[in-house]
Chains A and B, each alone.
Chain A
């Protein structure tokens, strides 16, 4: 079975919000209608987004590190948001595992948003239906697009290539290899929601040099010293 998902490399993300704007641009222009904003040019702008980039500071100054953290629906393999929906508007596509909302069925009861521990769902205040990341379902299933373009908008927009897209059930896919070889992890594993999206951890490039490496036999800096023998058998005594 296919499970499409994103793998986001926190080691690469620079927090530029290009994925946020490109997601908004694509998904506000589609057949499903706009992602409405309120006061977009005023003091307190607010609106519907599928994807947000948040920023966390880890550690205490001066030993701090900034983590830019893009967050969108994780397309859980056990999505707790789906069974609670009273109308069936929320569903998981059997063919590719993407969790979607049917905007024509949704009654805007917000119950599914309570059942998502990640806060990935946002109610559109204008249309009064629940919205969330669709992995650009209208793009990735559009056979008219070239293979290069049949990817979610955010993935194509990321200037640092921090976002990978693919089938996490295929062990040989780019995303599976990245998860396997670069320590990919899931958010809030304690809820057993089995998020399909994974994150690749921050990694510092640090060189570890042990004392033994400094005094290696072939180290030219190693001081020569002479062994003093006290009559024991040495290599010289071996009869070939």
Chain B
């Protein structure tokens, strides 16, 4: 498949945004349980604002993918059958809840609304955080299933697509939370950093399993089933166009195999070992800049990862477009 930058930006930006929001809520939960020192409401509010900016930027990037962005509202109609439609519905819900969570903190709506058990005081921020968490997970699933649900693209048609999107997005969000805490010299760096490392390692396991799976892929369709001729030697001589077509532009990455392998190596290095080492180094040296660097490097790596995710996918329609003339 041809990697499009609008979609690469969309999926990586909203992944980081959702992850950052999850990190904020996790931080709040730990603080309520008194595992962590309580933070100011401003800390959560600004964190949510950054998450919201990422989500909005991702949404804007996605418009560049559409031929008719002015009709995008129509995309919410077929949520019963289309994962794309579901994403279009869940994304604004997440954005609203992230906004509401941040706003509730900003306005200090922390009066307990009711009480669960002896000690848990439930306030508006906690409720919004809970709903936002559910919505964020739902958004991860919707985004990933847009790809994972296309059964013809066998490289994508696996639950590993969902786990990749989930863990990699969450990892970069927690990485950003660590960077944010480091930037404002907040002691939560270690907490978020540790979670970021755990999530990065889980992401590594999931993405590696995905790569191993795809390396052994057996394709369902062959040129024999494509044209229905039973012979071992079939060569295409013409595809009905000499200057290419939508089919050659959309479904082929047009890159050399060496480029594909370089990008794969690049993301395997940039997403996993380097950020983990940087977070480790930041822990030892208490450096305020290393977590920021870790986030930036991992984000660049994730863009390469998404590029590679597209480039490694082979569509069966390509069997009809093997050679020009």
Contact = CB atoms under 8 A, between A and B. Distances in A.
Q: Say what secondary structure dominates the interface of chain A.
A: loop
Interface stretch (A26-34, A56-64, A153-161, A171-179): A56-64
A118 B81 CA distance: 21
Interface in A97-151: 105-111, 113-119, 121-123, 125, 127-129
Given A114-B152, A122-B246, A86 B77 contact: yes
A111 B145 CA distance: 12
Interface string B209-228: 00000000000110101111
Interface size class of A (residues with CB under 8 A): 35 or more
Contact of A187 (B74, B228, B315): B228
Contact of A87 (B78, B237, B242, B318): B78
B117 interface: no
B188 interface: no
A53 interface: yes
A170 B127 CA distance: 59
B239 interface: yes
A4 interface: no
B88 interface: yes
Contacts of A44: 242-244
Nearest to A202: B229
B150 A115 contact: yes
A196 to B, nearest CB: 15
B309 to A, nearest CB: 14
A59 B85 contact: no
Contact of B235 (A56, A107, A119): A56
A58 B233 contact: yes
Contact of B250 (A57, A87, A123, A202): A123
Contact of A189 (B71, B225, B235): B225
Interface string A41-54: 00111111100111
B315 A114 contact: yes
B321 to A, nearest CB: 7
B65 A119 contact: no
Given A83-B82, A86-B78, A86-B84, A45 B242 contact: yes
B228 A185 contact: yes
A54 B320 contact: yes
A85 B238 CA distance: 31
B245 interface: yes
A125 to B, nearest CB: 8
A190 B220 CA distance: 7
B241 interface: yes
A188 interface: yes
Contacts of B71: 87, 105-107
B237 A119 contact: no
A84 interface: yes
A56 B220 CA distance: 20
A20 B240 contact: yes
Contacts of A190: 220-221, 225
B221 to A, nearest CB: 5
Given A85-B78, A86-B84, A105-B71, A48 B240 contact: no
A166 interface: no
A84 B233 contact: no
A119 B239 CA distance: 12
Contacts of A48: 246
A84 B84 contact: yes
A46 B241 contact: yes
Contacts of A69: 227
Contacts of A56: 223, 227, 229, 234-237
Nearest to A102: B74
A187 to B, nearest CB: 6
Given A46-B243, A56-B236, A191-B316, 8 more contacts: A17-B240, A56-B235, A57-B236, A86-B84, A87-B78, A106-B68, A114-B315, A188-B225
17 contacts: A52-B241, A53-B240, A58-B233, A67-B227, A80-B152, A88-B74, A105-B74, A108-B66, A108-B68, A115-B152, A117-B221, A117-B316, A122-B246, A123-B67, A188-B316, A190-B221, A191-B151
